[in-house]
Amino acid sequence: MPACPACGRPVAVARPGCLYCGATLPAGPAASPAEEPALPPPTQDRVLLVLDLERAAVELLERAAGLTPYEARLLSRRGGFHLLRVLPASAAAATTAGLTAQGLAVVPVPEAEARVRPLCALGGELLSAGLALRTAEGRVELRRGELLLVVSGPIAREYRAPLERRKVDTARLEQGFRVHLHRRGERRPVEIDPANLELGFAPSGSARLEVEAWLAEIAADVPRDDGFRKLPAALAPEQPERQGPLAAAGSLRRRPSGGDAAARDVARTDEPLVLDNLEQFRLYSGWRAAAERGLMR
């Protein structure tokens, strides 16, 4: 991870100035603004241990999982699945065996499987045969019975202004929303962003309501997980939309004209940084679907 030459703090995000002290960072390889930022590289030797809480008593959770009485009661009351910890593969097998021997249902999920990149839907419509979605990689058709799991959740969004800006910002960003459709025969989920979706015939006139109507039609009997809304948001720099009706929104921003590179750099550093927790949602959805598949083996 690169460090700021002025204050020595690590800088995890490619930017022209240090996030902490504002000093200019040395030139180095960085992702092109036109390229979609990748997920943090998966660690092949790490495993996520997921607990199935449906059959876990409070006393068992407290004793076997090392939780406080308060945490154990909350988890037992909530039910569903819970990400307990992330361990190297060498330690995960022994830990899984120990927890299972004490009566807990544990599903080990390789981290690479939980970080599968979703297939983003650009448009879609409900047909008599099922749901037809248009993606950057082609057409995807979903029929009743093909879905394994539906994961949905709100996406927190906020501004992180540069430290040089001392005035109080009153602008607030609208909260986002994502839906992941996990298919039985494909590990990559289809991701739907109602705010960036081109619809066919939509009687409701609302993309969000139209997506809910799709789910009611093709996924009425499919398990649905909305537990992500209960997690504290882990914010990271927002990824730019690559395609879809909002793809060109960034081009509407005012940019310095001419060939003055210094002026462009100043304008870029003065812009507020937009943060969201989309990557947190994608990881949650990934391990949740992997745990669902693990129970079916």
Structure tokens of 99? 């927890």
> Which of 22-31, 137-146, 174-183, 204-213 comes out lowest in average pLDDT?
22-31
CB 145 within 8 A of CB 219: no
Q: What percent of the chain has pLDDT over 70?
A: 69
pLDDT reported for residue 240: 72
**pLDDT band at 33; cut points 50, 70, 90:** very low
Contact 174, 100 (CB under 8 A): no
Band of the pLDDT at 45, cuts 50, 70, 90? confident
Better-scored residue on pLDDT, 132 or 34: 132
pTM exceeds 0.85 for this model = no
Give the Å distances, CA to CA, from 213 to 63, 110, 184, 190.
Answer: 44, 34, 21, 17
49-66 pLDDT tens trace = 999 998 788 999 998 888
Using one digit for the tens of pLDDT, what is the confidence trace for 254-272? 444 555 555 445 445 556 6
pLDDT value at position 37?
A: 42
Span 193-215, pLDDT tens digits: 999 999 876 677 789 999 999 99
Q: What is the pLDDT of residues 63-122, one digit of tens each?
A: 888 889 998 998 888 889 999 999 999 999 999 999 999 999 999 999 999 999 999 999
Cβ–Cβ < 8 Å for 207, 177: no
Q: In the structure encoding, which two tokens stand for residue 207, read together?
A: 């993309």
The reported pLDDT for the residue numbered 184 is 94
CA distance 232 to 277: 10
pLDDT of residue 32: 37
Query: Taking all residues of the chain, what is their mean pLDDT, rounded to a whole number?
Result: 80
Read off the pLDDT of residues 159-199 as tens digits, 9 standing for 90 and up.
Answer: 886 655 555 555 678 899 999 999 998 999 999 999 999 98
pLDDT of residue 295: 74
Both structure tokens of 277: 């927790």
Q: How much is the pLDDT for 31? A: 39
